[in-house]
């Protein structure tokens, strides 16, 4: 298989010699208690790949999938790779108008949806020229499994080159239309192999998989990690803090977004004794508050490993895993992963000094080729400097310390320019989050007649705490320059978030856009 760069072939080659060992154990949902062996995964992906082959789809067809999380949904992803087509996962929260855009833009040859959505999804798909629409439920029902059951359980993986498309991931689209990031077999495999080594995956490792699988974090980082290491996954369709904590004595690796760590810290069962068997806790997809980082260390004795990646690049940087590689640093996302280039530049493209805030740009075998059917947008998002090759402009703003550790300060689109001064929301949020009684905050800029943009803060109190907005603003005036101090501070019950736990600042900007009118 050495001349076949199909990602599935590499994952299949990593299956343990004993195919009857457990690969996935389901802990919740309709299939709770089910155990899938490695042989089950091999046979099920073969049957689904054979079904896909029988449809005689054009080469490298897009297969769009919007289903609830289940082992069968993961099997479908692997089967699409195995058959040599392009997997297009869609967030389960997307509604009709959004699905219509994605199907119209990607023109998939095949769509798989939840049985309850078949009526409206199939209407959109068929009217867009999609030939095949199947259903897949999280309870092992649906036409996809019914049809696949009639196919054989042997299948030779399609031959694919490293630069051929494996998946298209649509970005969350907080500004303008969602863009389809085109990821190749080589992008995904190179990143999975680097993480296997850098995160020191061990033969005994067991992963608790509690993330969605329509996103880089759950579908690629977590699933590929376990599959490439031949590790058992303890599978949760939905995150439930008590259930996860109860599984720590059986597991060694957990990956989560910051919200999951906050929710587990709210459980009395989270103790040093309960986490004693665990080897590694990883956090990503959104910034981890220093307070959460410290509270987790105090409660469990474990230091969370923070890392940084994007839909377009998979993982880029990571705090060290092995003690021999150095200590993990709170508030940072670590240095660049092996083989990945990360640089911080000024507006004019010149390199920033140590600890100077600038634009983060990246290159490496993990970086995507471009956006689906958006050549102008693709050209815009990459540099063209002849000397240093092609760098992807992440849109993130940050700084690099003397030791190479990267600190993310925010998104360039979140940068507030007030009265001609640059204001970085993350800096102000850091001061607000340290105040007594504050659970979290979000700082945004909204139109202002005098300053161009006015700084405002939206703050959530801890349970039982009462916050005094005026006193908080007065305190900030003693800590930061006046142009950075929020002109209004609102105390709210919670912040709007997307499915990966990221605060949706665009919604906050919309909500308050008329404040200074």
Q: What DSSP line would sit under 209-262, residue for residue? A: E-S-SSSIIIIIIIHHHHHHHT-EEEE-SS--HHHHHHHGGG-SEEEE-HHHHH
Q: Which of 103, 32, 92, 29 is nearest to 62 (CA)?
A: 103
Give the per-residue pLDDT at 480.
86
**pLDDT tens digits along 188-240:** 999 999 999 999 999 999 999 999 999 999 999 999 999 999 999 999 999 99
Q: Which domains does the chain have, with CATH numbers?
A: 7-238 (3.40.50.980), 332-411 (2.30.38.10), 415-511 (3.30.300.30)
Q: Where are the alpha helices (DSSP H) in 342-492?
A: 375-381, 425-433, 469-477
Place of tokens 């959530």: 460
* Pair 251, 234: CB distance under 8 Å: yes
**pLDDT tens digits along 353-367:** 999 999 999 999 999
Decide which of 79 and 171 is more confident. 79
* Pair 493, 460: CB distance under 8 Å: yes
Give the per-residue pLDDT at 449.
80
| Res. 474: pLDDT tops 60 | yes
Give the per-residue pLDDT at 47.
98
Q: Which token pair is 255?
A: 């990956």
**pLDDT tens digits along 27-68:** 999 999 999 999 999 999 999 999 999 999 999 999 999 999
| 109-126 average pLDDT score | 98
Cα within 13 Å of Cα(416), Cβ side: 29
In percent, how much of the chain has pLDDT > 90? Answer: 86
Give the per-residue pLDDT at 386.
66
* Pair 463, 476: CB distance under 8 Å: no
| Res. 1: pLDDT tops 50 | no
What is the average pLDDT value for the chain, to the nearest integer?
95
Q: Which token pair is 412?
A: 């360039």
β-strands 358-363, 206-209 pairing: unpaired
């Amino acid at each position: 298989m050495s001349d076949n760069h199909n990602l599935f072939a590499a994952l299949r080659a990593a299956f343990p010699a004993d195919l009857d060992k457990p690969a996935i154990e389901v802990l919740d949902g309709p299939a709770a208690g089910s155990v899938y062996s490695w042989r089950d995964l091999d046979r099920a992906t073969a049957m689904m790949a054979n079904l896909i082959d029988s449809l005689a789809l054009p080469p490298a067809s897009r297969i769009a999938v919007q289903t609830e999380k289940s082992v069968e949904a993961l099997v479908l992803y692997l089967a699409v790779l195995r058959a040599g087509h392009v997997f297009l996962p869609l967030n389960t929260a997307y509604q009709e108008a959004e699905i219509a855009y994605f199907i119209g833009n990607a023109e998939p040859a095949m769509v798989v949806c939840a049985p309850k959505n078949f009526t409206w999804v199939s209407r959109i798909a068929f009217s867009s020229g999609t030939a095949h629409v199947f259903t897949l439920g999280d309870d092992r029902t649906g036409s996809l499994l019914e049809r696949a059951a009639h196919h054989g359980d042997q299948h030779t993986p399609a031959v694919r080159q490293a630069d051929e498309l494996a998946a298209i991931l649509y970005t969350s689209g907080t500004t303008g239309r969602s863009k389809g990031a085109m990821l190749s077999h080589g992008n995904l495999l190179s990143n999975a192999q680097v993480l296997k080594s850098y995160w020191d995956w061990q033969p005994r490792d067991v992963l608790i998989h509690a993330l969605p699988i329509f996103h880089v974090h759950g579908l690629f980082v977590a699933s590929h990690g376990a599959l490439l290491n031949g590790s058992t996954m303890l599978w949760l369709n939905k995150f439930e803090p008590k259930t996860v904590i109860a599984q720590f004595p059986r597991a060694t690796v957990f990956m989560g977004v910051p919200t999951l760590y906050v929710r587990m810290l709210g459980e009395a069962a989270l103790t040093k004794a309960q986490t004693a068997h665990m080897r590694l806790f990883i956090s990503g997809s959104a910034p981890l508050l220093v307070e959460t980082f410290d509270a987790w260390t105090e409660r469990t004795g474990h230091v969370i490993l923070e890392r940084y990646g994007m839909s377009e690049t998979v993982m880029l940087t990571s705090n060290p895993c092995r003690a021999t590689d150095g200590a993990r640093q709170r508030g940072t996302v670590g240095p660049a992963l092996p083989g990945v280039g990360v640089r911080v530049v000024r507006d004019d493209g010149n390199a920033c000094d140590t600890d100077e805030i600038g634009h983060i740009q990246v290159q490496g075998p993990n970086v995507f080729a471009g956006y689906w059917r958006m050549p102008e947008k693709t050209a815009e998002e990459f540099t063209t400097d002849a000397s240093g090759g092609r760098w992807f402009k992440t849109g993130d703003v940050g700084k690099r310390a003397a030791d190479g550790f990267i600190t993310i300060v925010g998104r360039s689109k979140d940068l507030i320019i007030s009265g001609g001064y640059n204001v970085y929301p993350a800096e102000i949020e850091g001061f607000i989050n340290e105040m007594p009684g504050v659970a979290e905050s979000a700082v945004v800029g909204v139109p202002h007649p005098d300053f161009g943009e006015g700084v405002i803060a939206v703050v959530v109190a801890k349970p039982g705490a009462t916050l005094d907005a005026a006193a908080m603003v007065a305190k900030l005036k003693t800590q930061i320059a006046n142009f950075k101090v929020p002109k209004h501070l609102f105390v709210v019950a919670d912040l709007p978030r997307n499915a990966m736990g990221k605060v949706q600042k665009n919604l906050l900007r919309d909500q308050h856009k008329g404040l200074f009118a």
